[in-house]
Structure formats: C-alpha cells, structure tokens
C-alpha cells in the first residue's frame, strides 16, 4: 500500500501541485485587490469634476428633456443595476442626494416626483 502512495508523490506531481497552489494564491490576491472596484466611474476624478461643475439641470432629469418622466426612472434603474454606465451629465442630474452615486434613493426621489405629477 505504501508503494501506491509513493508513486503518486513524484517530483513532477509535487511540482505541478505547488505551481497550481501558487496560481490559486495569486488569483485570490488579485481578486481581493479588485473586489471593491464595483463602481469605478462613480468615484473617479472625472465624476467628481462633473459633479462640482455647476449646471442648470433639473434634479432627477437624467435624460435632459426638461421634465422628470418615466424614462428618467428607467435610466436610473439601469444605472443602479449596473446594466448601463451613466455619462457625467447623467450622473450629475440623477444624483439627487449628491453622494456621487446613483442609488435606490435617487430612483425613489424620481418615482416620488412622478407620483406627485
């Protein structure tokens, strides 16, 4: 029985096992470094500059048509679900609570405005 186990632990198999282990550790390390980069655009310098630039947009008017409508709600939903990426103008107009992120709170604001119309 010992002979069977010795044949499995050859130099070649140990080398392959150690290389595989190093690859797994490297992949885990890279995953840990990039795990927080879910919304890189929302925290970028371009988004901050766009946010700080004064504009005349109507708060919540994501499509810039001069009114809050169902298309604004649809676009905000797309952005909050990471189905689309907003432009800097869309980020500025859709970020109703000014936290530099498009979240459910922003979508709630637009839906509330729609219900009051």
Instruction: State residue 75's pLDDT score.
Output: 92
The reply to whether 39 falls in a domain is no
pTM of the prediction? 0.54
55 lies in the same domain as 29: no
Choose between 33 and 115: higher pLDDT: 115
67 and 107 inside one domain:
yes
**pLDDT tens-digit map of 3-42:** 555 566 677 777 777 777 777 777 666 665 555 555 554 4
Whether 112 and 66 map to the same domain: the answer is: yes
Question: Mind listing the pLDDT tens digit for each residue in 67-99?
Answer: 899 999 999 999 988 888 998 888 888 988 888
Number of domains in the chain: 2
The answer for residues whose C-beta is within 8 angstroms of residue 83's C-beta and 6 or more apart is none
Per the structure, the complete domain to which residue 104 belongs is given by 45-116
Cα 109 to Cα 96: distance, rounded to the nearest angstrom: 7
Whether 49 and 104 map to the same domain: the answer is yes
For the ranges 42-46, 58-62, 100-104, which has the lowest average pLDDT? 42-46
Instruction: Pick left, alpha or beta for residue 11 (phi over 0 → left; psi -120 to 50 → alpha; otherwise beta).
Output: alpha
């Amino acid at each position: 029985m010992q002979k069977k186990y010795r044949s499995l632990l050859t130099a070649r198999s140990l080398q392959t096992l150690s290389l595989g282990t190093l690859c797994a550790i490297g992949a885990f390390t890279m995953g840990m470094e990039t795990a927080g980069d879910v919304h890189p655009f929302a925290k970028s310098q371009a988004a901050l500059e766009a946010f700080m630039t004064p504009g005349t947009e109507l708060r919540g008017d994501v499509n810039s048509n001069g009114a809050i409508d169902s298309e604004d709600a649809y676009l905000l939903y797309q952005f909050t679900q990471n189905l689309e990426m907003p432009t800097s103008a869309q980020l500025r107009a859709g970020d109703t609570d000014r936290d530099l992120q498009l979240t459910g709170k922003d979508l709630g604001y637009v839906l509330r405005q729609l219900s009051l119309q």
